């Protein structure tokens, strides 16, 4: 067997979770409680095996696959099986340096999430749903077929919807529906864009993988290779205006998922109401689906439209960055603050893309990865507050460091990592985006005023993170003030499993901060390949490239 993706990474987690859920579905509550512990163990072992597989892929254990030097639009571990012949739909999987870090991240976060939420209630159904979430997420990242991509894209909604609805906070009913409908609306518009794109294929030349009924294919590799085709009159494969329409429709789906202001309003609700595990996966991987989708489809398919919308994207990115940060300042709920800080960080990704510099794109890719390691820790800390203090109100407690040093340390570490402390993962990405921005200003004559936003946000971010820490774990001297929601009970520290999860996350944050090249090299390589293979040939040497 040499297909290491279809079944090991996508099929087995989904099948296992369906089997486990079917197994417990008709059991009564007592049996379910008894089964919770073994099922949790099964899920942990299963997700750890996924991590073993992806880590093995990194260390070239499965065949001599190097993640660098893959030319644009070719994929490793790729396999293609006929699915719906009439429409040209295949079960097509494969990974390149764009998707591999995301797949690894997903498999890394799954066991960590299970460890961090070890004592979640109704574990017999919770852990299989988390596992299903992981399978669906990996499915998104490995799809090389538009149909399959969309199927997994929507499939991720279902487990997350149930995680929020069944294990969420007080307003979970509202939040789960808003989450589902908001992202579903954006995705169906994206779907229409994908279908319109599908029919813009040249049927006069026989196409590989084409459907018997339509003469066209959903195969991403084939479609992407078409983006480079120029017709006899010098018009591009897609007319400029059609490119723009398709770009907008596709980007809408991805920007809502990311989310970027003004499409971000579902995120704070979903995050605040979601259980800790749901938040960790939502912030860690699910938001990255949006960024991944941008790179995989619109950016690889519509370079002209990208050039046209460069300024718009830059503005959207800046607004997300600044607005997200400013709103953070006013939050009194820790989790909501962290959620808005995610919006702000996602703005960095959009800015990185909008610079249209290889450096900026590599920075965006690394930001996806770094934020995927850091933000789960932020939400794990928030979850610990919720779980142990029953309160996430900033200012409702003082001097918690005295009572729970573990929680305070974790919080301090996560907060510092998120605000971009050097030697931690987040710093690298932010620094690179700033360099790319400076390059635009210096070499391409953009106004220096574009630096105002990021400069401002550096200060604001430090302010809200430090301020929230000061008002929860510090201050108070000898007179600490436990939150009123504890009703005078002794203040606990986090559990051992939570400590373990925090340690793992912290170690990897340091690892990718000190040695970013582990992931950054392949990302750099991917950007170089797409710029050499697509952007520069099509758009010409429009702005050099750093």
Partner 1 sequence: MSELTVVEPFGDGFVAALGPELMLFAGLLVLILLPNLGRGTFRIPGTQIRLPWLLGGNRFKLTSDPRLPSWIATITLTAAFLNILYIFSEGLDRVAIMTESGKEILLVNGFSRVFELIFFGALALASFSSMNRLAVKGSGSKLSEHELYNNRRQGDFYILMITCALGMSVVALAQDLFVLFIGLELASFSTYVLVAFLKESKAGVESGMKYFIVGSVASGVGLYGLSMLYLWAGSLQFSVLATHFATSGTTALPLIGIGFVLVGFGFKVSAAPFHFAAPDAYAGASSPVAGVLATASKAMGMLGLIRMLLIVAAPESSDGSAVWLICFGALAAVTMTWGNLAALGSQNPKRMLAYSSVAHAGYMLAAITAIGAWNWDAAVAGDAGTAAVAVLTALLFHLVVLVAFKLGAFLVLSVLESEGGASSLSSLGGLAKREPLLAVSMFIFMISLAGVPPMAGFLSKLLVIMAIVRVAVGDMGSEIAAGGAFDVGDFHWVWWLALLMVVNSAISMFYYLRVVVVMFFDQPEEGREGPLPSGWQVRTAILLCVLTTVFVGVAGNGLLELCEMAANSLNYDW
Binding residues for partner 1, per CB under 8 A?
25-26, 83-87, 147, 150-151, 154-155, 157-158, 162, 165-166, 172-173, 176-177, 180-181, 184-185, 188-189, 191-192, 195-196, 198-205, 213-214, 216, 229, 231-233, 235, 237-239, 241-242, 244-245
Give the residue among 503, 502, 516 at the shortest CA–CA distance from 425: 516
Least Å distance between CB 203 and partner 1?
5
**Crossing angle between the packed helical segments 334-354 and 310-329, to the nearest 10 degrees:** 160
CB 272 within 8 A of CB 169: yes
Number of neighbouring beta carbons within 10 Å of residue 29 = 9
Name the residue nearer to partner 1 (CB basis): 215 or 545. Answer: 215
* DSSP string computed for 241-256: HHHHHHHHHHHHHHHH
User: How far is it, in rounded angstroms, from Cα 460 to Cα 544?
Assistant: 33
User: How far is it, in rounded angstroms, from Cα 439 to Cα 94?
Assistant: 34
Name the residue nearer to partner 1 (CB basis): 207 or 285. Answer: 207
Name the residue nearer to partner 1 (CB basis): 12 or 62. Answer: 12
Name the residue nearer to partner 1 (CB basis): 243 or 279. Answer: 243
Name the residue nearer to partner 1 (CB basis): 93 or 397. Answer: 93
Least Å distance between CB 133 and partner 1?
15
Least Å distance between CB 79 and partner 1?
18
Structure-token match 């017999």, residue found: 124
Structure-token match 């108070």, residue found: 476
Distance of CA 120 to the CA centre of its chain: 23
User: How far is it, in rounded angstroms, from Cα 231 to Cα 238?
Assistant: 10
User: How far is it, in rounded angstroms, from Cα 185 to Cα 136?
Assistant: 19
Least Å distance between CB 240 and partner 1?
9
Least Å distance between CB 186 and partner 1?
9
Three-state secondary structure call for residue 79: strand
User: How far is it, in rounded angstroms, from Cα 307 to Cα 302?
Assistant: 9
Least Å distance between CB 447 and partner 1?
32
Name the residue nearer to partner 1 (CB basis): 190 or 425. Answer: 190
Least Å distance between CB 230 and partner 1?
10
Give the residue among 239, 367, 258, 353 at the shortest CA–CA distance from 307: 353
Helix ranges restricted to H, 404-495: 405-418, 425-444, 452-470
Least Å distance between CB 62 and partner 1?
27
Name the residue nearer to partner 1 (CB basis): 172 or 499. Answer: 172
Name the residue nearer to partner 1 (CB basis): 26 or 541. Answer: 26
């Amino acid at each position: 067997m040499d297909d290491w993706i279809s079944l090991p990474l996508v099929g087995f987690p989904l099948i296992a979770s369906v089997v486990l859920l079917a197994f417990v579905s008709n059991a009564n509550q007592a049996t379910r409680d008894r089964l919770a512990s073994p099922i949790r163990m099964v899920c942990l072992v299963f997700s750890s095996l996924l991590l073993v597989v992806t880590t093995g892929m990194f260390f070239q254990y499965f065949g001599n696959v190097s993640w660098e030097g893959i030319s644009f639009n070719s994929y490793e571990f790729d396999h293609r099986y006929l699915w719906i012949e009439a429409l040209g739909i295949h079960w097509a999987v494969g990974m390149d340096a764009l998707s591999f870090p995301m797949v690894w991240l997903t498999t890394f976060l799954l066991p960590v999430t299970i460890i961090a939420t070890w004592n979640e209630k109704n574990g017999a159904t919770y852990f299989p749903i988390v596992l299903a979430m992981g399978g669906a997420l990996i499915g998104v990242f490995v799809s090389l077929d538009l149909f399959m991509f969309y199927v997994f894209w929507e499939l991720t909604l279902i487990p997350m919807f149930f995680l929020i609805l069944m294990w969420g906070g007080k307003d979970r009913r509202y939040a789960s529906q808003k989450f589902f409908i908001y992202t579903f609306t954006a995705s169906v518009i994206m779907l229409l864009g994908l279908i319109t794109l599908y029919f813009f294929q040249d049927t006069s030349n026989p196409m590989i993988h084409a459907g018997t009924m339509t003469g066209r294919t959903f195969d991403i590799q084939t479609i992407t290779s078409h983006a480079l085709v120029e017709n006899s009159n010098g018009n591009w494969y897609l007319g400029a205006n059609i490119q723009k329409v398709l770009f907008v429709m596709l980007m809408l789906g991805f920007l809502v998922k990311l989310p970027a202001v003004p499409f971000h309003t579902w995120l704070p609700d979903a995050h605040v109401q979601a259980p800790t595990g749901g938040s960790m996966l939502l912030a860690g991987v699910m938001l990255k689906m949006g960024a991944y989708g941008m790179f995989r489809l619109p950016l690889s398919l519509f370079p002209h439209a990208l050039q046209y919308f460069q300024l718009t994207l830059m503005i959207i990115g800046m607004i997300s960055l600044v607005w997200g940060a400013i709103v953070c300042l006013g939050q009194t709920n820790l989790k909501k603050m962290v959620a808005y800080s995610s919006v702000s960080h996602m703005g960095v990704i959009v800015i990185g893309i909008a610079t249209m510099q290889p450096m900026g794109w590599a920075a965006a890719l690394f930001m996806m990865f770094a934020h995927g390691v850091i933000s789960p820790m932020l939400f794990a800390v928030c979850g610990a507050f919720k779980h142990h203090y029953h309160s996430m109100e900033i200012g409702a407690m003082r001097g918690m460091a005295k009572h729970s040093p573990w929680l305070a340390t974790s919080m301090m570490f996560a907060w510092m990592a998120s605000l971009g402390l050097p030697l931690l993962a987040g710093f690298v990405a932010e620094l690179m985006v700033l360099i790319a921005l400076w390059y635009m200003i210096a070499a391409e004559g953009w106004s220096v005023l574009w630096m105002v936003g990021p400069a401002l946000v550096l200060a604001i971010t430090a302010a809200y993170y430090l301020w929230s820490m000061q008002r929860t774990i510090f201050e108070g001297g000898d007179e600490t003030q436990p939150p009123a929601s504890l009703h005078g009970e002794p203040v606990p520290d986090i559990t051992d499993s939570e400590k373990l999860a925090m340690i793992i996350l912290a170690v990897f944050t340091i690892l990718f901060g000190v040695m970013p090249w582990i992931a950054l090299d392949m990302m750099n390589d991917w950007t170089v390949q797409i710029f050499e293979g697509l952007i520069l040939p099509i758009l010409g040497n429009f702005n050099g490239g750093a």
